Homo-oligomer: A and B are copies of this chain.
C-alpha cells in the first residue's frame, strides 16, 4: 500500500484543494498542483478521484480520533464546552472553507455509496465522542441521568443545523443564538442541579496538525505548468 508519507502528502493536497476549490470544482489537476507529483501519480495511488476523496474522509476521521483521545483526561463539562465551542464558534476563513467543502461532500452522499459509508463512519465517531462526554458526565455526577444517545443526536442536529445555516446563508449570528439556545434549553435539562457549565472552555478542542498549511504556498493557476501549453515557441 501507499507509503504513509506519500499518503500524507496527497491527503493534505486533497484537503487543500477541496477547501480552495470546493468539491464540485475539485479536479485531479488541482490536487496534483498541490503536490510535487503528477496527476497520473494520483491515479497510480488511488483508483479514482472519488476514492481520493473517500480516503480523505477516512484520514480526517483518524485525525479526529487522535484529537479526541488527547482530551479524554479532561472533566466532562470542560470537554463539553470545548466541543460546543469547536462546533459553534465563528470559524476563521480556513475553517469556513473546510466546512463549506465538507457540506458539498455530504450533499453528494445520497448519490454516492462510498461517501455515504465514510460519512456514516465519521458520524459514528462524532456521536461517540459526544456520548462519551455525556456518559462520563453522568458518572462524574455533573449530569443527571438521561439518555446520552438521544441527547447526543439532538445536540448534533442542532449543531449541524447551525453550521449549515451559517455556512450557506453567511449568517454567523445564528451560531450564537443557537449556542445559547442549546445551553438554555437542552443542556439545562441534563445538567445536575448542583453542577454548572463553565462559561468558557478551559482548553480548545485541538486542530488537526497534519493539515496545518504553515506556508500558504499559493498555487499558480494562470498558466498551468503541468502541461506543455506553449504559447510562444
Contacts and interface: CB of A to CB of B under 8 A. Distances in A.
Interface of A: 1-2, 7, 22-25, 44-51, 54-55, 58-59, 62, 100, 103-104, 106-116, 119-120, 123, 149-151, 153-154, 156-162, 164-165, 167-171, 174, 177-178, 180-182, 184-186, 189, 227-233
B104 A150 contact: no
Copies of this chain, count = 4
A168 B110 contact: yes
A181 B150 contact: yes
B230 A45 contact: yes
Q: Which 6 A-B pairs give the minimum distances between C-beta atoms?
A: A157-B161, A161-B161, A154-B181, A160-B161, A107-B107, A109-B168
A178 B165 contact: no
5 contacts: A44-B228, A49-B232, A55-B231, A104-B104, A157-B158
Contact of A120 (B169, B177, B229): B169
Given A58-B233, A59-B233, A178 B153 contact: yes
Contacts of A161: 156-162, 164
A46 B229 contact: yes
